[in-house]
């Protein structure tokens, strides 16, 4: 994700990489998120990994975040972005938004507020889509001009 964001905001996929190391600069990322007004969080608060592995294929979402509480604490929040299929399904079911495909959005009502819900593709290198295509999809949501 940080390579995608670096490419979108700075035209440099390595913007958040610590020079000479194989890790990202946490302080730089936190400063960027604050400056841009981007918050991160998990959709699921309780999950069961039915196969005992890290694959989302056998992941069961038991409980999702309390969106009403999130919105109450974030009065300027107008867009929610999910990247995983399981996260999107869980949130769409909770909000009655129908099914979203990667790259699609829907306007939903949460606690009397209109919020745009986006489903993006996974930023993982394991997700079979070229980096430039991922950037193109993420750019639809981020760095609105």
Tens of pLDDT along 40-52? 988 888 888 888 7
pLDDT tens, 81-120? Answer: 988 778 888 888 888 788 888 888 889 888 888 999 999 9
Residues 125 and 55 in one domain: yes
Domain region containing 95: 39-139
With respect to residue 86, please indicate whether it lies within any of the assigned structural domains: yes
Total domains in the fold of the chain? 2
Residues 97 and 67 in one domain: yes
Residues 82 and 19 in one domain: no
* Pairwise pLDDT comparison (56 vs 35), residue with the higher score: 35
Q: How far is the C-alpha of 121 from the C-alpha of 138, rounded, in Å?
A: 8
DSSP 36-60: HT-----SEEEEEETTSSS-GGGEE
Q: How confident is the model at residue 145 (pLDDT cuts 50, 70, 90)?
A: very low
How confident is the model over 34-59, as a mean pLDDT? 84
Residues 94 and 27 in one domain: no
With respect to residue 22, please indicate whether it lies within any of the assigned structural domains: yes
Residues 23 and 51 in one domain: no
Residues 60 and 31 in one domain: no
Residues 11 and 82 in one domain: no
With respect to residue 145, please indicate whether it lies within any of the assigned structural domains: no
Residues 111 and 48 in one domain: yes
Residues 86 and 55 in one domain: yes
Residues 84 and 21 in one domain: no
Residues 118 and 81 in one domain: yes
Whether 103 contacts 119, CB under 8 Å: yes
Residue whose entry in the numeric block shows the structure tokens 């302080």: 27
Whether 50 contacts 89, CB under 8 Å: no
pLDDT at 122: 83
pTM of the model: 0.84
Q: Which two tokens stand for residue 100?
A: 């979203």
CA 137 to chain centre: 12
Whether 92 contacts 107, CB under 8 Å: no
Residues 104 and 133 in one domain: yes
CATH number of the domain at 64, please. 3.10.180
* Pairwise pLDDT comparison (55 vs 130), residue with the higher score: 130
Whether 10 contacts 137, CB under 8 Å: no
């Amino acid at each position: 994700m940080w390579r995608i964001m670096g490419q979108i905001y700075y035209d440099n996929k390595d913007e958040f990489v610590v020079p000479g190391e194989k890790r990202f600069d946490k302080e730089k990322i936190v400063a960027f998120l604050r400056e841009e007004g981007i918050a991160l969080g998990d959709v699921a608060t309780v999950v069961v990994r039915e196969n005992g592995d890290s694959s989302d294929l056998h992941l069961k979402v038991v409980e999702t975040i309390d969106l009403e509480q999130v919105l109450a604490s974030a009065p300027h929040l107008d867009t929610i972005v999910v990247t995983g299929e399981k996260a999107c399904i869980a949130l769409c079911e909770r909000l009655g938004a129908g099914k979203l495909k990667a790259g699609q959005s829907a306007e939903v009502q949460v606690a009397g507020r209109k919020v745009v819900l986006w489903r993006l593709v996974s930023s993982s290198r394991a997700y079979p889509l070229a980096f430039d295509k991922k950037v193109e999809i993420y750019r639809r949501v981020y760095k609105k001009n």
